[in-house]
Amino acid sequence: MKLYQLAVVRPCDLEAPEQTRLPTLIVASKTDLSSFSFFQRGVAGEFVDFLTSMVAERAEVGAAMAVAKESHVAHVLRSSRNLCVVAVTDTEYPAMVARSLVGKITSEFREKYSSDAVDNATVKDQLVFDPLEQYIEKYQDPQQADTIMKVQKELDDTKAVMHQTIESLLQRGERLDTLVDKSKDLSFQTKSFYKTAKKTNSCCIVM
């Protein structure tokens, strides 16, 4: 089982007028791609960021979600208009642990940073949040989660978690292939890899 990324995201408000929208931005994150080969890590990293951003901006405010794509799951908690925490794992990683972890990160991040600080961020990982580095290392072993499980138990018991696939999360008329092709955050190499992998039915290493 693997924990690939922990990320704090400022999602684009897709319901807001286009001229007032702030772009989706990962304001703090830590990623562990050590399970991929050296040559795959660049592509894998771009796709993890792409998946994280896509699910964050489509999550409903107040909603906890687990969004599956092939062998990967994005565990999402969007606590407000401009704050969403995402943990990307493989399908073997315990969902309850991931859900508790995103809840813990949400609480701690909100204590450190104001809503204005999030809105004013302009570049990826601009807001320094050291606990992410500790958590992505510690919680590679889900058995380390006893403490956060106890702290978050009451929250987990009262919050329903929606389980969806990427396809069901997309808005009407949206297709994953089109989003990949239009993305400004994916390099030509990564887009080509995605298309080739899909044609050979081997699927992308992340998506």
Q: How far is CA 10 from the centre of its chain?
A: 11
Segment 47-62 shows an average pLDDT of 88
Beta strands in 32-137 (DSSP E): 64-69, 72-80, 83-90
Sheet strands side by side (includes 72-80): 25-31, 3-10, 83-90, 72-80, 64-69, 161-165
3-state class (DSSP) for residue 89? strand
For the chain, what is the mean pLDDT?
80
Instruction: Read off the pTM.
Output: 0.75
- At residue 101's C-alpha, the angle toward residues 97 and 103, to 5°, is 120
Report pLDDT for 127: 96
Q: What is the pLDDT of residues 78-117, one digit of tens each?
A: 999 899 999 999 999 988 889 889 999 999 999 999 999 9
Q: What is the pLDDT of residues 139-161, one digit of tens each?
A: 998 877 655 555 555 555 445 55
3-state class (DSSP) for residue 6? strand
Q: 204 pLDDT exceeds 60?
A: no
